[in-house]
Amino acid sequence: MTKSDGKKKAASVWENPGTRFVNAFLHRMSSALKQRNFRALLRFMVTLAGLVTGFSMIFQVLMAYEGQQHSWVTGFYWTLSTMSTLGYGDISFVTDPGRVFSILVLLSGIVFMLVLLPFTFIELFYEPWMEARAVSLLPRRVPADMHGHVILTFFGPVASALIDKLTQFNYPYVVILPEAEEVTHLGDRGIHAIYGELNDPDTYVRARVEHAALVATTRPDIVNTSVVFTVRGITDKTPVIATARDAASVEILKLAGCTRVLDITHLMAEALARRAIGGNQFSHVIGKIDDLLIAEVDSNRTTLVGKGYLQAQWETSVSIVGFWARGNFQIGQPESTIEENTVLVMAGSRQQLSEFDQRYRADTGPTQTKPVIIIGGGRVGRSTAAALKRRGIDYCIVEQLVERIPYTENYILGSGADKAVLQRAGIEEAPTVIITPRDDETNIYLAIFCRLLRPDVQIISRATLDRNVAALHRAGCDIVMSYASMGSNAMFNLLQRSDLLMVAEGLDVFKVRVPKELAGKTLAESNVRQRTGCSVIGIDSHDRTETNPGPDSILPADGEIVLIGTPAGETEFLRLFPAGY
Condensed to tens digits (0 to 9), the pLDDT of residues 371-406 reads 999 999 999 999 999 989 887 889 999 999 988 888
Would you say residue 240 has pLDDT above 90? yes
Residue 482 near residue 469, CB atoms below 8 Å: yes
φ, ψ of residue 393 to 5 degrees: the values are -110, 130
Domain with 334, as residue range(s), is: 281-360
Q: Which residue, of 262, 293, 314, is where some domain finishes?
A: 262
Residue 216 near residue 244, CB atoms below 8 Å: no
Radius of gyration (C-alpha) of the chain in whole angstroms:
34
Give the model's confidence band at 142: pLDDT under 50 very low, under 70 low, under 90 confident, else very high.
very high
404 and 318 within one domain: no
pLDDT attached to residue 505? 58
How many Cβ atoms sit within 10 Å of the Cβ of residue 563?
23
Give the model's confidence band at 133: pLDDT under 50 very low, under 70 low, under 90 confident, else very high.
low
Angle at 321 between CA 317 and CA 326, to 5 degrees: 130
- Asked if residue 555 is part of any domain, the answer here is yes
- What number is the average pLDDT over the span 564-578? 80
Instruction: Give the bridge partners for 93, in sequence order.
Output: none
Q: Residues near 173 by Cβ (< 8 Å), separated by ≥ 6?
A: 149, 150, 151, 152, 163, 166, 167, 192
Nearest to 375 by CA among 444, 469, 474, 328: 444
If you ran DSSP here, which 8-state letter would residue 537 be given? E
235 and 201 within one domain: yes
pLDDT attached to residue 504? 61
- Give the CATH number of the domain where residue 526 resides: 3.30.70.1450
Q: 70: exposed, middle or buried (C-beta count within 10 Å: 0-12, 13-18, 19+)?
A: middle
Q: Which helix (H) or strand (E) segment is 315 a member of?
A: helix 309-315
3-state secondary structure of 389: helix
If you ran DSSP here, which 8-state letter would residue 403 be given? G
126 and 17 within one domain: yes
377 and 336 within one domain: no
Q: Which residue, of 136, 168, 200, is where some domain finishes?
A: 136
Give the model's confidence band at 19: pLDDT under 50 very low, under 70 low, under 90 confident, else very high.
low
380 and 352 within one domain: no
What is the bridge-based pairing of β-strands 411-413 and 292-298?
unpaired
177-181, 226-230, 545-549: segment of lowest average pLDDT:
545-549
Q: Select the more confidently predicted residue: 250 or 507.
A: 250
Rounded CA-CA distance 507/509 in Å is 7
Residue 472 near residue 443, CB atoms below 8 Å: yes
Rounded CA-CA distance 215/153 in Å is 8
- What number is the average pLDDT over the span 439-444? 96
pLDDT attached to residue 255? 92
Question: Structure pTM?
Answer: 0.65
Residue 82 near residue 105, CB atoms below 8 Å: yes
186-195, 415-424, 536-545: segment of lowest average pLDDT:
536-545
Q: Which residue, of 337, 360, 383, is where some domain finishes?
A: 360
* 155 HSE (CA, 13 A, CB side): 22
Helix H, strand E, coil C: the string for 164-206 is HHHHHCCCCEEEEECCHHHHHHHHHCCCCEEECCCCCHHHHHH
Residue 195 near residue 138, CB atoms below 8 Å: yes
pLDDT attached to residue 450? 95
Would you say residue 204 has pLDDT above 90? yes
If you ran DSSP here, which 8-state letter would residue 361 be given? B
- Asked if residue 254 is part of any domain, the answer here is yes
Would you say residue 281 has pLDDT above 70? no
- Give the CATH number of the domain where residue 467 resides: 3.40.50.720
511 and 417 within one domain: no
- Asked if residue 26 is part of any domain, the answer here is yes
pLDDT attached to residue 335? 79
Number of structural domains in the chain: 5
Rounded CA-CA distance 28/17 in Å is 16
pLDDT attached to residue 15? 45
What is the bridge-based pairing of β-strands 193-195 and 214-217?
unpaired
231 and 187 within one domain: yes
- Asked if residue 53 is part of any domain, the answer here is yes
- What number is the average pLDDT over the span 493-518? 71
Rounded CA-CA distance 193/413 in Å is 45
Rounded CA-CA distance 294/320 in Å is 10
Rounded CA-CA distance 69/496 in Å is 90
